[in-house]
Structure 1
Amino acid sequence: MSLTLAEARARSAQVSDVSYDIDLDLRDHAGETFGSTTTLRFTTSAPSTFVELTDARDLVVSVDGRPVEAAYDGRRVGLEDLPVGRPVEVRVEARVPYVSDGDGMHRMTDPVDGETYVSAYLSLDIAQRVFACFDQPDIKATMAVSVAADPRWQVIGNGRVTSSEAGRWVFATTPRLCPSLFVVCAGPWHSVTWEHAGLPFGWHARASLAAELDRDGDELRETTNDCFDHYATLFDEPYPFDSYDQLFGPGHNWGAMETPGCVTYRDEMLPRGRVTDDQRSRRATVIAHEMAHMWFGNLVTMRWWEDTWLNESFADYMGYRVAADGAGFGGTLVVHEATRKPAAYVADERRSTHPVAPAPEDVPDVDSAFTNFDSISYAKGNSCLRQLVTWLGDDDFLAGVNAHLTRHRFGNATLDDLVEALDAASPRDVRGWAEVWLRRTGFDTVVVRRRDDGVPVLVREGVRPHRFSVSALDADGVLVGTRLVDLADEQVPLPEWADLAVVPNSQGETFARLRLDDLSAATVAEHLGDVDDEVTRTVLWAHAFDEVRTGALAPAGFLDLVERHLPGEQRPALVSAVLDRALGPVLTRSTPAAEAPALVDRVAAACRSALAATDDDQVAIALTRGLAATSRDASALLGWLEAGRTDAGVDLDPGLRWSTVARLAALGALDEDAIEAERQRDQTFAGELGAARALAARPTAEAKAAAWATMSAPDVSNRVFEACAQGLWDPERVELCTAYVDAYLADSPAICERRGQGFSLVVGRNAFPALELSPAQRRRLADTLAAGSVPTVLARLWNDQLDDLPDPPQISR
């Protein structure tokens, strides 16, 4: 049972003035457990309460220095007969297990050099897997932390190190934080450090990634400084903590986590070999996103998880904005419009959709809250905020935001608190706006109609006020004009653009489906690639994605667009987005298995044509990745491996090389020995994962059986599980995978019950069968969900997958 809203409200009303002294002993990093000793000081208005500590061994509890026999159920430590109305001190000592799934004190041994790294990766109610605490966001506390570890190591945490002698690190006491924001990362890190704005800054990575961190160090430092300085121009409240470290950590379940003092990122964001401009831009956006959390989430924290959006929507919006305006990575909006926003439209039409800002009662417990870390809370919320800024004006928006941050600094706040601040800063009705945009599910449709005289007319189907750009295209797809319009109940005619194609929301300012008239649709189909403005072009590609999903455009029609317009595309991020869409949802969800090989061949042909047409090396890299995933020319791919570069002159970085190996394995052109030779050639953690994927991709029953056996091992790591799943599922050879689809549906609930939230995310989202499910398998999935025995997080993800299948069976909510 995860913590409920009722329990959290009762406990937060009862306890106050909380502080933690946390002492961790990581010296036995080769063992199964680490030492965790926490001294909690608080005042309580009732004689009984509980603290959380999961899977503790050798538990010892004392109250005001007296040993007590506390009730313990494996997760909650019951505290009775506490003194009321005065400070009490509770000390909890235990041994706590290391984990390999990214939820808790994650331990990883690097195959390159045998070095071990242990890092506390937390979120929601995961702090209790590291130290005893009141594990909820509205009980904030100071944290005084000390860590005993290998003297050769460096330990990084939420604050500055005040002493580090003889293998013991002591950190400055933090300001008031919620438990999920605790962090400790220990190991022989390689570091790049500097001072900026009077604070110590640093970037850290595994020792085996030292060359990569040194390669990118100047850019990472510059990006961090630029984002930091730009936030200083936006927010009145200064950065609220005493240091700013950032660390690439192995095994992270999230893309990154905003823990103050030491932001952690999955270390795939520090790739070996080449770093493309697209990767650099996306990484800068994540850096800016996590930095935004220092104010939204860390300085001011939600009271309960219904206001997840107050963290994530703001950070998502600010991430794209500040990476562009502050750090100089232009074009970040293309990634949002091409990848994340389309996912939000999909999420908003599933049965699981929820308002951006749901009511507290709609998030009854923490497991339910975890499922709301989704495209609604991130991408849709981001899009709604962008619409709010467009509708409200930037000055009024920032005035309201700054009033909110100052009023609630180091405290907790709600949507109503933010709306109150924004409403006071603007003459517009922000409360009314929030009601239709944030408290309701779904989205409007902006329709282009055509009068008899050729004048286009914009019509809203829905209830929300919109302000957005609309652009006109001539018969050759040339942009001839753009204007800002307000669309609500009244239609908006555009007489100056009679007989021209028009594109509503051409700069993506609002969140709405488009429905074009015949003239506009025909012009787009013929000239999409000729549209000069990259954001408008991206909006039109996203419109095509949406039409495939809704059935308005057949997969073959989408491939027509790919073949016609991909060769002229000069934005690498958009090339990648189009290929990811074609080889992702279009292939695995919209295309029958019998037609899958033809789709793959058409994508491969489009990549070859586009490679022949481009002289941009960044575009060529994106296209080569598409070709590596689709080519059937085994001899050519083997030639790539032998030469270390493609016949078009693109060098194989480690990631592209492993993608090529995986494709060759799927074609049956590489056996186990050849894959092992590639692994030996690499000898890194990424190489271990690449080999696992390639072995699973081989088109034999034995290979599929071995992959599932690895995935079923009780202690398999989150990364290995995901890599095997990537290779296991083959949309072109469904018959080879049938038995493992059945095994996946049968075994996953127990796996997730045992491994928890983060692993459930891997199982239900990243490892769901990426191929056509049979009617019997779909019925089995629906029946399993209807039985009600699937763990909450997996049930949400599986229901979403069921909704995304073509013509899903109808089941009750």
Structure 2
Amino acid sequence: MDILERYAPNENLRRDEAALRAADITWHFAEVQLDLSNAVDPAATSYQSVTTLNFDTASGETFVDFIHESVQEVLVNGNPIDLDDAVLDARIYLSGLRTDAPNTVKITGKAIYSRSGEGLHRFVDPQDGETYLYTQFEPSEARRVFACFEQPDLKTSYRFTLTGPSAWHLASNQPIVDEVFHENGTKTVACSPTPKISSYITAVLAGPYHVVRDEHVQQLADGEELVIEMAATCRASLAEHFDGEEILELTSRGLAYFHELFDYPYPWGKYDSAFVPEYNLGAMENPGLVTFTERYVFTSHATEGQHEQRANTIMHEMAHMWFGDLVTMKWWDDLWLKESFADYIGTLANDAATDFTTAWTTFAARRKAWAYVADQMPTTHPIVADIPDLLAADQNFDGITYAKGASVLKQLAAFVGADAFRDAARSYFRTHAYGNTSLDDFLQALESASGRDMGQWADAWLKTSGVPKLRVDYAVDEAGLVTEATLVQFGTDPISGEPIRRPHVLSVGAYTLDEGALTRSAVQSVELTGESSPLDFLVGQPAPALVLPNDGDETYALIEFDPASRATLLANLSGLTDSLPRATCWASLWDAVRSATLVAQSYAGAILDHAHTVADAGVFGVLTDQLVSTISRYAAPELRAGLRDRAAAVLTGWLTRFEAGSDQQMTTARTLVKLARAGVAGEVVDAFLAEGENQYAVPVDEQLLWDSYVALAASGRLDEAAEQRMHAAAKANPTSVALNAVRTALAARPDAQVKEHAFDTVLMARDEDGALSNDALSAVALGFSMGSASLLAPFEQRYWAAIQPVFETMSMEFATRVIEGLYPMNQDLEGAIEQNTALADATAWLERHDGAPKALRRILIEERDALQRALNAQAFSRTSR
């Protein structure tokens, strides 16, 4: 068969193609030379990329991945080949290769500077005009920078050589071993070769970055000292805000913890942490050069919850140095083998190795909530997913792969024991170091360490879908004593239609109520293996005020409270002082709102009555965010004005109740300005925008200032004078935060012409100044979305006509931001749900476009599901007016 007939000439590598290539290729090494010296020239669209690959092939033919501006030369074993025959779209096809000796292929071409955050992203700092570059490759964007075999199970050693301006900081995965300065003001650095790694975790950093350095010294079991050079970097204009020493201290603590936990020395030499602009992710685990979003460089007041989240991300990425980098999944079906583990073990490390004592509480409130949302969508999937191609892989970085998987691993540790889980991980690393694995490999390690058969457990938890739910059924006699009590598991796998029957090891707590205080009076550990399990500890006791399954948040399950327990909670949540069960209760009540089994106004009332007593900054932030969503999305339209008025009054009172500048006060202020977008709390916004101190004693930092301008615009109060003040403030301090906030504010104004311009800007990803970056695009889309249902209704038909061309012509990142950003989500339920035009149009589009790309359909199915839930909740909200 001709090679051009075997492989599709496009970017979407299929799993079967990857398997064929992996079976055929043994990759020995790759040398990558990138000349970035023209990056400061805004007219330069591309840069020189030269890659030399050395490999064996059994078949004598293969293809190399390279998304390029141009290919100038391909040398195969020193001989040039015809580019017209070889280069087709994102692939370079090679034939006539040696089968009895290694082949050397040198590919010279031009790679494209990115503005989407995919490949090599270029950012020009609006404050000082400096240019910054960084790479982001997961799952398959290394081929945007250099030619390679872009799949995780083809690992090799990479040697990077980088050329750039002589004053720049140039870095890659391994330390620099040579540096040469040139007379033209540039320099070339050569990095030492990497150990064997996959292409998607290679990395490059280039620019005038501010650098903070330290070292970590680790005493190994054999007495040897391992010295790990550490660096933390950010843009120079952010240096005054950069707490690099704290970041390096956390990094050192994490390294000490993971060395003890995994009993396998850190294998990647140095440990750099780079905080970069316009980043699409929270962070990426490139070994030796971890990249983070610069949102973790706090230019405004950062709450304890924000610091905790940054620490958690640092630990998550560090866990990847072993889970993911040292041992890597063969294909993206087993993405969970790194992401679920990093999410679970990163939280474990944050709890054990740092000073943050509420890591698991925040996990329950934020990460699990993400998992529950994703697992109830029509697009849910097993933790071990079916990923036929790269487009599917790109969308599987979701709440199931991360947070559900992490929750299930937490349950697994309870199931087999923490020591067995640790021993399995240690064995797994020693057996598979620098290799690739699948689910069976880890299960084998678990069985050896625990002595338990893991097959049934894996089938129940990893190969099925849906959220299990738990409830306690009990009966009481005339004296009020419990006569029988049962823990019940229920739910349906949305894919198979079968009942959910998963094994759980968990605790069930009983609470008494005394003058508003909820106190745990008894607790029972339960191993639930089927549909139900008796709860003998409740029998013969007075009926508890609250029965709480999963009291210690050991397992992954939502709680359906009995009527008495729910009533107790809604009236007395402030009386539940233990942070972890409290977060579990809030999470299940929030799901009840989204599932239209608890009216939105009741949940909003509970937040307003009780959230001020929550001391955990992370959970308090989750609750205030949910307050805004509950009112704007899930409450019946006719109830929103009253709910907003009450919320504005209560939160304004909180401003003076909380200590000035405290986490709770700052979070409350930020929530108030979000509410103010709908026209309430105008006096508070005016106070924040006025010169001098305000009567609420709230420090107005960068975030609060710009959130206030956005609120002023969205509420229709950005008059000419206010707009001039806004532009003057941005000109005086032209940070990326300020400039994107101006974009959002201008698009948020409730005017038909404004919305028309914003819609066109997002759809084309361009404004009057040219092409937008990823963050600028999202900033305009955010402003557009701040409009009433009636104001945005005229754009719905244009939206449905445009989305498929957008998906087919833009990169995945841009297309996703456009399609999600313009989706007609703001809907006021008037008559029957079926009469909502946005919902009907979404359904009709999906029915007419059954053959549309699966990745596009997934985005739209998930958006439609979110809208359906909102409308269901609005309808249910009307039942208890």
TM-score (norm 2): 0.88
Partner of 1:702: 753
Partner of 2:667: 622
How big is each residue's C-alpha offset from its partner over 1:476-527, in whole Å with a ceiling of 9 and x where there is no partner?
Answer: 3233333422223342223265311211112211111211212212211211
**How far apart, CA to CA, are the structure 1 residues paired with 2:802 and 2:298?**
33
1:495 to 505, 525, 538: 538
* Residue 547 of structure 1, CA deviation: 0.5
Q: Superposed, which structure 2 residues align to 1:27-38 within 5 Å?
A: 27-29=37-39, 30=41, 31-38=44-51
* Residue 252 of structure 1, CA deviation: 1.2
SS at match of 1:478: strand
**How far apart, CA to CA, are the structure 2 residues paired with 1:740 and 1:126?**
33
**How far apart, CA to CA, are the structure 1 residues paired with 2:454 and 2:692?**
57
**How far apart, CA to CA, are the structure 1 residues paired with 2:451 and 2:602?**
47
1:670 to 701, 718, 741: 718
Return closer, same or farther for 1:158/1:766 CA change in 2, 3 Å cut-off. Answer: farther
Partner of 2:654: 610
Count of residues paired in the alignment? 803
**How far apart, CA to CA, are the structure 2 residues paired with 1:519 and 1:433?**
34
**How far apart, CA to CA, are the structure 2 residues paired with 1:486 and 1:765?**
42
How big is each residue's C-alpha offset from its partner over 1:568-598, in whole Å with a ceiling of 9 and x where there is no partner?
Answer: 22222112111212323x3454234454444
Q: Which amino acid aligns with 1:557?
A: S
1:542 to 587, 591, 594: 587
Q: Superposed, which structure 2 residues align to 1:30-69 within 5 Å?
A: 30=41, 31-69=44-82
Contact 2:14 2:389 (8 Å CA) reproduced: yes
Q: Which amino acid aligns with 2:534?
A: V
1:686 to 700, 719, 737: 737
2:765 to 696, 710, 713: 713
1:231 to 240, 258, 266: 258
1:482 aligns with 2:534: no
2:467 to 443, 448, 452: 443
Partner of 1:760: 815
2:119 to 101, 104, 121: 104
Q: Superposed, which structure 2 residues align to 1:741-756 within 5 Å?
A: 741-756=796-811
Q: Which amino acid aligns with 2:785?
A: W
Partner of 1:128: 143
* Residue 610 of structure 1, CA deviation: 3.5
* Residue 622 of structure 1, CA deviation: 1.2
Contact 1:802 1:808 (8 Å CA) reproduced: no
1:187 to 192, 202, 207: 207
**How far apart, CA to CA, are the structure 1 residues paired with 2:582 and 2:205?**
43
SS at match of 2:54: strand
Contact 1:281 1:332 (8 Å CA) reproduced: yes
Partner of 1:278: 305
Q: Superposed, which structure 2 residues align to 1:502-517 within 5 Å?
A: 502-517=547-562
**How far apart, CA to CA, are the structure 1 residues paired with 2:357 and 2:620?**
17
Partner of 2:430: 406
* Residue 765 of structure 1, CA deviation: 4.5
Partner of 1:776: 837
Larger-gyration structure (1/2):
2
SS at match of 1:516: coil
**How far apart, CA to CA, are the structure 2 residues paired with 1:485 and 1:645?**
56
**How far apart, CA to CA, are the structure 2 residues paired with 1:93 and 1:792?**
34
**How far apart, CA to CA, are the structure 2 residues paired with 1:217 and 1:758?**
30
* Residue 241 of structure 1, CA deviation: 0.3
* Residue 807 of structure 1, CA deviation: 6.1
Contact 2:594 2:869 (8 Å CA) reproduced: no
How big is each residue's C-alpha offset from its partner over 1:743-767, in whole Å with a ceiling of 9 and x where there is no partner?
Answer: 4433333233333222234334466
* Residue 633 of structure 1, CA deviation: 3.3
1:171 to 157, 177, 191: 191
Contact 1:307 1:415 (8 Å CA) reproduced: yes
Q: Which amino acid aligns with 2:759?
A: W
1:368 aligns with 2:420: no
Partner of 2:184: none
How big is each residue's C-alpha offset from its partner over 1:508-552, in whole Å with a ceiling of 9 and x where there is no partner?
Answer: 111112112122122112111110101111111101111011111
Contact 1:42 1:89 (8 Å CA) reproduced: yes
Partner of 1:313: 340
* Residue 713 of structure 1, CA deviation: 3.2
Partner of 2:780: 724
Return closer, same or farther for 1:654/1:745 CA change in 2, 3 Å cut-off. Answer: farther
Partner of 1:657: 705
* Residue 295 of structure 1, CA deviation: 0.5
* Residue 80 of structure 1, CA deviation: 1.1
Q: Which amino acid aligns with 1:442?
A: G
**How far apart, CA to CA, are the structure 2 residues paired with 1:38 and 1:781?**
45
**How far apart, CA to CA, are the structure 1 residues paired with 2:209 and 2:622?**
34
How big is each residue's C-alpha offset from its partner over 1:268-327, in whole Å with a ceiling of 9 and x where there is no partner?
Answer: 111213222111000000000000100011000000000000110001011111112112
**How far apart, CA to CA, are the structure 2 residues paired with 1:709 and 1:327?**
47
Contact 2:839 2:864 (8 Å CA) reproduced: yes
SS at match of 1:195: strand
Partner of 1:144: 159
* Residue 69 of structure 1, CA deviation: 1.1
Return closer, same or farther for 1:729/1:474 CA change in 2, 3 Å cut-off. Answer: same
How big is each residue's C-alpha offset from its partner over 1:94-149, in whole Å with a ceiling of 9 and x where there is no partner?
Answer: 01111100011111100100000111211111111000000000000100110111
SS at match of 1:451: strand
Contiguous gaps of at least 5 residues in structure 2: 1-9, 182-186, 218-226, 491-499, 829-834, 873-881
Partner of 2:793: 738
Partner of 2:863: 801
The alignment-based identity, stated in percent, is 32
Q: Which amino acid aligns with 1:464?
A: R
**Higher mean displacement: 761-770 or 501-510:** 761-770
**How far apart, CA to CA, are the structure 2 residues paired with 1:544 and 1:611?**
26
**How far apart, CA to CA, are the structure 2 residues paired with 1:669 and 1:746?**
33
**How far apart, CA to CA, are the structure 2 residues paired with 1:262 and 1:767?**
35
**How far apart, CA to CA, are the structure 1 residues paired with 2:393 and 2:659?**
47
How big is each residue's C-alpha offset from its partner over 1:627-665, in whole Å with a ceiling of 9 and x where there is no partner?
Answer: 121132334322212246553212112112111111111
**How far apart, CA to CA, are the structure 1 residues paired with 2:576 and 2:773?**
46
Contact 1:193 1:203 (8 Å CA) reproduced: yes
Contact 2:213 2:230 (8 Å CA) reproduced: yes
Contact 2:825 2:867 (8 Å CA) reproduced: no
1:265 to 292, 307, 316: 292
Contact 2:283 2:317 (8 Å CA) reproduced: yes
Partner of 1:205: 234
1:466 aligns with 2:504: yes
Contact 1:449 1:516 (8 Å CA) reproduced: no
1:22 aligns with 2:32: yes
* Residue 806 of structure 1, CA deviation: 2.4
* Residue 355 of structure 1, CA deviation: 0.5
Contact 2:279 2:292 (8 Å CA) reproduced: yes
Partner of 2:374: 347
SS at match of 1:806: helix
